[in-house]
Amino acid sequence: MGQYRMLVDVTKCIGCYSCRVACQMENDLPPDQSYISFCEVEKGEYPNVEWVMHRFSCLHCEDAVCEKVCPQNAISYSQTGAVVVDQEQCIGCEYCEKNCPFGRAKVELCQDKEGNSVSRANKCTLCNGKVLEGMTPACASTCYTEAIVFGESDEILQKAEQRLAEVKDRYPDANIYNPEGVGGTHTIYLLAHKPEEYDLESDATTPASAIIWKDYAQPLGKLLLGATTMAVIGGAISNRLFNKGEHHEGGE
Amino acid sequence: MLKPVSRRSFIKASAATAAAVSLTSFDMHSWMASASADEKAAISKIPTTCNGCSSQCGMIAYTKNGRLWKLEGHPDHPRSKGTLCARGHGYATLIYSKERLEQPMKRMENGKYEPISWEQAFKEIGDKLKEIIKEHGPESVALVQDPRPTGNVYATRFIKALGSPNYYTHHVACNNSRDTGFNHTIGGVPSADIANSSYIMFIGRSYGDGIRPSSMSALAQAKENGAKVIIVDPRKNNTSPFADQWLPIRPGTDLALVLAMAHILIEKDLYDAGFIEDHATGFEEFKKEVKQYTPEWAEKVTGIDAQTIKTIATDMAQLKPKAVIEQSWRGAFGCNYKNSTETGRAVALFNAMLGNIQQEGGYIFGASAGLGDLDPDQFPAPQEPDAVKDGEEDFPLAPRGRGVANIVPLRAKEGKMKAAFYHHSNAALGYGNPEYYKEALNEMDLVVTIDVQMSETALLSHYVLPEPSYMERDDAVDGVGGGTAAVVLRQKAVDRVHPNTKPADEIFTELAKASGVGEYFTFTLEDYNKAAVEPLGITMDELREKGSIPLEDKKAEIGTVPEFNTPSGKVEFASQTFEDAGFNAVPTWIPPLVEPKNGSYRLTTGKQAIHSHTQTANIPMLMQITKDYDLERLWMNRQEAKKKGIQDSDLVEVSSDSASSTVKVKLTDRLHPETVYIPSHYGITSKYLTTAKGVGFSYMEHVPFHFQPMSGCSMIHEVIVDVRKVDA
Amino acid sequence: MPDHMKQRDLLLFYAELYKPPGDAVYEVISHPDFRTELEQASGAALNDCCDLPSLSSLKEEFRSLFSSSSQNGISLIESFYKPWTTDQTAALPFAQSKGMMMGDPAWHMRYLLEEIGLNSSYDPMFYPDHISVILELAAFLLEEQETDKFTLLVSQHLNWLDDLVEAIRKQKKDSLYLKLTELLNKFVNEFTICNQSFDRLKEDSVC
Ligand code: SF4
Ligand code: SF4
Ligand code: SF4
């Protein structure tokens, strides 16, 4: 299977929230949990004002920090390009949440198979199951303005470039947000303004500490101590190494 | 001894044996596991229609063991084309909500509601109705609804059978002004062919806020093809990402803009003279009237500069007939201002001047489905009542079929209207001032509400009759007009949750029997549905299977100008009917009824994509979005707020002559300084609707109870408010 | 009368109690021996309570507590207290929320009633997982001496009485319904098995 990409073209979003609701349906999310968040950007003064609705969800990084820091290996890459959480493996330690440069991984109360409430990492799955069955993600298929489009990786990149050219006139600062620092992403954004306007860093990266953690500390530690103990220790390491507050401002 | 003597047991044990069920199946966990395992086989796919708003998009319900499992847009339905909006997905949760009406209820002496049996409800209502009719005549009875397919068949027949002409719809608070204007000029309301148009102007209407999926995608397509899009709205609405230009017009002055644009076409000789020659009357009179409406004049009235007006009118003329002013819905002139009917006329006539009628990219009168009806020999229809519909004499121009629903409370206060039925209608919060409605409905001898939840109107009723939700019942077959007409069916997708609810067809049939007019209701819903599809050469089985069937032989004819449904059969630039009713034959500038003075604002309102009127406010999934993003806030121009020391998200008091409300404020540069804007979905007061109650306020509380002179509409934007910061 | 028949009558009494009160149920409650009989049959003590209300005030109390026509009406329906479904394939936002009608419990109850051949009467209050229906089915199982099935039923379909007790307590602390529901809860708890699952039942690990 080839790899896929999703393009969110914020210049086409009308803020109708249909994608949010369709996603909640698809993923059985209760009313107060959502993989998609919105932020409105108003630029200029009456009557010369531009309004843009920024619909935001997990970026599915090539080099995903959340995947690296998870002590349980509960986060992995799907063949579609998605970064997915296996909630049965997840223990709710919040490393992913603390370390995601985009504030997308969230630990929330979920139901396990027996219907008990448990804390689990919860984020956009790029509709992995659907895509594996050859279908389009729920949000993309419900968006009637085509602000969300999904397809083969390269085609989507091309589409993004083409749209960028089309909107440059109206939004001179427009850009494609596909940060190199995390190896590129499988959800890319066509932003109307500089990333900072949306509380995004232009140069979001995978912190070196996360790489060390993943590749050295964690496998060793796990062998010796077992997962749960590691989670406790890892919490301390992780918090100290890349504390969210110091590393980057904003988030959502 | 503990066992009560006469048990009213729910379950009857005659031939039962517990041995019939294995111990494994008794265990809910193992049973669930095995029942879910063969789920694939058990999932059924039922095409039906949404009831999240009046678009009633086709959708496909997947169900498992009689319960809802998943929803999708119906690919063949002209309005959903495979997608559903947020409401479409979210509103379905109504089925399993606890806050629904479960059984018939009656208001007791002490004001509390007691459950009663259907037999009792029908009997008491029937008896009371007979008594009222005997004493005051059938004209003292009214029926009001927000029409849905079954109601269109049954409710109209019911009120007619009682001998009363007083049938009304919700359109007084929707698009009756526009329709009045369109009907008397071009004989009806066509739809703009957005996808093929090159120049589109929207006045007040926002596809991005009042969602219909197919309309929004048509607009996206038009943009793709390079169309120019102008939005005329005091608010830079959510369609703006698709607009090239925003004209922040002073609210209530759209008429002046359109008249000035017409002026340009005439002055520069840019209109389609051939079309006018062949298909119009009264153009000379119109020309004379419009002479005074120069762009410079319009600039003073609207705040839009004369040059812009000239350019737009000229550009549109150049691209005609693929240029269009979209027909709008409630938007800016559905029921909003004193001059809204005139705006409707001006818009229709401007399009006629572009010669775009029945042309690609212009205004298209759609084909209708042409449904059949019951055989009158087998099922005799009630006679047309002799009396005229109350309100028709006061508002002779208003669309006759729909009437002016706010006549009902007015006449109730005068002591003339004694009984009213409200079906799928929250008139008391949605049509006119709620205080007025409350006083008026309390005057009546009999008020009956038929609904799915305890609305504000239900709370003013003597009897409340519960319907199953739209997913738990069959409705009457419906025809959808358009480029290609379609026939659609809303059908029962899931098992009924509340066993003691009854669908409207049964309710009206029983009410008719109890009121002594049962002879007109000897048919079943299935009889009607069969008769409806008969002339289409489609069987009910086919329709049940497909849910929505496009009628390929019922297509709008493009290129041929039709005979217009007006007295002259032509486009009427001057209307004798208007003159006879005491108005000007040609559209004339009328200023709005009220004007904000320094420091006060016009209160305007409009839709949000996630709600439908107040009907969806109690759906937790949709209301949560409101709460997450504070969508119930009052919009205010940033500079104006600064003058008053108001900051974003401050609590403010909004006060008018009629009411005072407190709400948080949203500061924005997307709004004309003379207005404050409040979304129209909030301000639920019914304590039975706990998710919605207490969020935001209802603009209707501020709107005085008044009538637009030509169409009888509620003039919902003719209200001035003061806004001041509330100290915390 | 054998114990299980006494318990059956106890359950049938409760089944009546959760329907709008009429003469029959009132006759039982107002009988001088009511408390003794009740405690004997349930093997538990009734918490001290209020005076015996009149039938009309009992009716009013029932209405204000449980009727859907009163605001904040307390639900007597099991689904309301449980996640709507535990089936992971349901693509619905409320799939795992509580407070919805016609959830898994209703679906299972309907299946049981149909399979056993207990015809549900078309009654306005008939919901397959209404507390009275569950109690009537439990009584039927006792009568048939189907102890295992009885245990499963009360363990799985009456394990929400804590919530019900709480809900009533919140609205009316001195309600007769509160005291009686507390007693029912104690009685039911006697039969409840730990893990609520069939496998455990086989292993006989009742707590
Ligand atoms: S469905 Fe499309 S237009 Fe609507 S909010 Fe989502 S991205 Fe925006
Ligand atoms: S891709 Fe799927 S999971 Fe991700 S936001 Fe869209 S609908 Fe939700
Ligand atoms: S527009 Fe949305 S709410 Fe209205 S019918 Fe279509 S899907 Fe339903």
Convert the pLDDT of each residue in B239-284 to its tens digit: 999 999 999 999 999 999 999 999 999 999 999 999 999 999 999 9
Q: Cα B402–B405–B410 angle (5° rounding)? A: 150
Q: Is residue B333 located within the same domain as residue B199? A: yes
Share of chain B above pLDDT 70, in %: 97
Segment A137-164, tens digit of pLDDT: 999 999 989 999 999 999 999 999 999 9
Tell me whether residue B592 is in a domain. Answer: no
Please indicate whether residue C83 or residue C164 has the higher confidence score (pLDDT): C164
Percent of chain A at pLDDT > 90 equals 49
How large is the average pLDDT for residues B401-414? 97
Q: Is A131 in the pocket of ligand 2 (CB under 6 A)?
A: no
In tens, the pLDDT along C148-163 reads 999 999 999 999 999 9
For residues B468 and B533, membership in a common domain is answered with yes
Task: Give C99→chain A minimum CA distance, Å.
Answer: 12
Confidence of residue B13 (pLDDT cuts 50, 70, 90): low
Mean pLDDT, residues B653-662 taken together: 96
In this predicted structure, what is the pLDDT of residue B1? 53
The pLDDT confidence band at residue B626, using thresholds 50, 70 and 90, is: very high
pLDDT band at C190 (very low <50, low <70, confident <90, very high): confident
Asked if the model's pLDDT at residue C201 lies above 70, the reply is no
Residue C93 has what pLDDT?
67
Quote the pLDDT of residue C118. Answer: 75
Structure confidence at residue A238 as a pLDDT band (50, 70, 90): very low
**One domain for residues B333 and B435:** no
In terms of pLDDT, which residue wins out, C120 or B180? B180
Helix (H) / strand (E) element for B297: namely helix B295-302
Model confidence band, residue C1 (pLDDT cutoffs 50, 70, 90): low
Across the interface, whether the CB atoms of C97 and A25 are under 8 A apart is answered: no
Please, which residues bridge with residue B203 across strands? B232
Chain B positions in Cβ-Cβ contact with residue A191 (cut-off 8 Å): none
Atom of ligand 1 nearest to the CA of A18: 1
Cα–Cα separations (whole angstroms), residue B585 to B99, B345, B576, B707:
51, 11, 6, 21
Q: Quick check: C49 pLDDT over 90? A: no
Report CA dihedral (C135, C139, C142, C147) to the nearest 10 degrees: -10
- Predicted confidence band of residue A11 (pLDDT cuts 50, 70, 90): very high
CATH code, domain with B168: 3.40.50.740
Is A131's C-beta closer than 6 angstroms to any atom of ligand 1?
A: no
Number of domains, chain C? 1
Q: Are B612 and B53 in contact (CB under 8 A)?
A: yes
Q: Is A146 in the pocket of ligand 1 (CB under 6 A)?
A: no
User: What pLDDT, on the 0 to 100 scale, is given for residue A210?
Assistant: 53
> Is C171 part of a structural domain of the chain?
yes
pLDDT at A246: 35
Nearest CA residue ID for atom 1, ligand 2: A126
Name the residue of chain B whose CA is nearest to A20's CA. B86
Say what the ipTM of the complex is. Answer: 0.88
Do B220 and B350 belong together in one domain? yes
Instruction: Please report whether residue B557 resides in a domain.
Output: no
Mean pLDDT of A221-237: 40
Give the pLDDT mean for B529-556: 94
**Residue where one domain finishes, among candidates B364, B381, B398:** B364
Residue C155 lies in a domain: yes
> Who contacts A243 (Cβ-Cβ below 8 Å, separation ≥6)?
A98
Pair (B412, B498) in one structural domain: yes
Give per-residue pLDDT as tens, B189-233. 999 999 999 999 999 999 999 988 889 989 999 999 999 999 999
Answer for the pair C7, C113: CB distance below 8 angstroms, yes or no.
Answer: no
Kindly state the average pLDDT of the residues B293-297: 98
Least trusted range by pLDDT, from A85-94, B131-140, B312-321 = A85-94
Note the pLDDT of residue A182. 86
* Residue C207 lies inside a defined structural domain of this protein: no
Pocket test of ligand 2: the residue of A7, A29, A127 to mutate, having most ligand atoms within 8 Å of its CB, is A127
* Distance in angstroms between the alpha carbons of the first and the last residue of chain B: 62
| Surface of B (665-694) touching C: CB under 8 A | 687-688, 690
Beta-carbon separation of B27 and C198 below 8 A: yes
Q: What is the pLDDT of residues B40-68, one digit of tens each?
A: 547 889 999 998 888 888 999 998 878 88
Number of structural domains found in chain B: 4
State whether B31 and C108 contact (CB < 8 Å).
yes
Question: Is residue B718 in some structural domain?
Answer: yes
Q: Output the domain CATH number for residue C183.
A: 1.10.3480
- pLDDT at residue C122, as a whole number: 45
- Give the per-residue pLDDT at A244: 35
Residue B549 predicted with pLDDT over 50: yes
Q: How far is CA A230 from CA A71, A97, A219, B560, in A?
A: 7, 17, 10, 78
pLDDT, position B98: 83
- Give the tens place of pLDDT for each residue, B142-172: 999 999 999 999 999 999 999 999 999 999 9
A98: confidence class by pLDDT, cuts 50, 70, 90: confident
Which of C52-66, C128-142, C193-207 has the lowest average pLDDT? C193-207
Q: How far is CA B545 from the centre of its chain?
A: 28
Torsion angles phi and psi, residue B155, rounded to 5:
-65, -40
Q: Looking at residues C12-34, what average pLDDT do you find?
A: 86
- Do the domain assignments include residue B565? no
CA nearest neighbour of B725 among B642, B657, B668: B642
Averaged pLDDT, B676-693? 93
Q: Give A28's pLDDT tier (boundaries 50, 70, 90).
A: confident
Hey, is the C-beta of C103 within 8 angstroms of any chain B C-beta?
yes
- Any domain includes B527: yes
Q: How far is the CA of A133 from the CAs of A15, A80, A221, in angstroms?
A: 29, 11, 37
CB C9 within 8 A of CB B3: yes
| Matching residue, tokens 């189907």 | C146
Last residue in a domain, options B333, B364, B395: B364
Min Cα separation A24/chain C (Å): 5
Q: What is the CATH number of the domain that holds B676?
A: 2.40.40.20
Quick one: pLDDT at residue C198? Answer: 45
Whole-angstrom Cα distance, residue B145 to residue A111? 42
- Among A218-222, B131-135, B292-296, the range scoring the smallest mean pLDDT is A218-222
The closest of C88, C107, C116, C200 to C157, measured between CA atoms, is C107
Looking from the CA of residue A22, the nearest atom of ligand 2 is: 7
Q: Residue A57 pLDDT more than 50?
A: yes
User: What HEC string does A218-240 produce?
Assistant: HHHHHHHHCHHHHHHHHHHHHHH
Higher pLDDT, A222 or B50: B50
Q: What residues contact residue A207 under an 8 Å CB cut-off, 6+ apart?
A: A65, A99, A241, A242, A247
What pLDDT is recorded for position C196? 46
Peptide bond into B321 cis (omega under 30): yes
Arithmetic mean of pLDDT, C26-35 = 85
CATH no. for A4-242: 3.30.70.20
Neighbours of chain C (3+ CB pairs under 8 A): A, B
pLDDT for the residue numbered B356: 97
- Decide if C14 is inside a domain: yes
Q: What residue of B is the nearest CA neighbor of C59?
A: B114
B91 CA closest ligand 3 atom index? 3
Query: How would residue C5 be classed by pLDDT, with cut points 50, 70 and 90?
Result: confident
pLDDT of residue B27: 84
Quick one: pLDDT at residue A243? 35
Q: Is residue B345 located within the same domain as residue B448?
A: no
Give chain C's mean pLDDT. 81
Is residue C94 included in any domain, yes or no?
yes
Global pTM reads 0.86
Strand bridging mode B675-679 / B141-145: unpaired
**Does residue B347 fall inside a structural domain?**
yes
Mean per-residue pLDDT, C10-15: 89
- Give pLDDT, residue B262: 98
Q: Of B358-367, B556-565, B632-641, C72-81, where does mean pLDDT reach its minimum?
A: C72-81
A138 lines ligand 1 (CB under 6 A): no
What pLDDT sits at residue B175?
94
The whole-number pLDDT of residue A115 equals 65
B256 plus B347 within the same structural domain: yes
**Mean pLDDT for chain B?**
93
- Position A226 scores a pLDDT of 41
What are the tens digits of pLDDT across the range B329-386? Answer: 998 999 999 999 999 999 999 999 999 999 999 999 999 999 999 999 999 999 999 9
Would you state the pLDDT for residue A100? 85
- Please tell me the distance from the alpha carbon of residue B271 to that of residue B255, in angstroms, as a whole number: 19
> Where are the domains positioned within chain A?
4-242
> Residue B51 sits in which domain range?
18-96
Domain of residue C138, residue span: 3-202
Note the pLDDT of residue B12. Answer: 63
Among the candidates B96, B123, B143, a domain finishes at B96
Q: What is the pLDDT of chain A when averaged over all its residues?
A: 81
Residue B450's nearest CA partner among B401, B496, B511 is B511
- In this model, does residue A202 exceed pLDDT 90? no
pLDDT for position A223: 39
Interface of B with C in 591-620 (CB under 8 A): 620
Q: State the CATH number of the domain containing residue B308.
A: 3.40.228.10
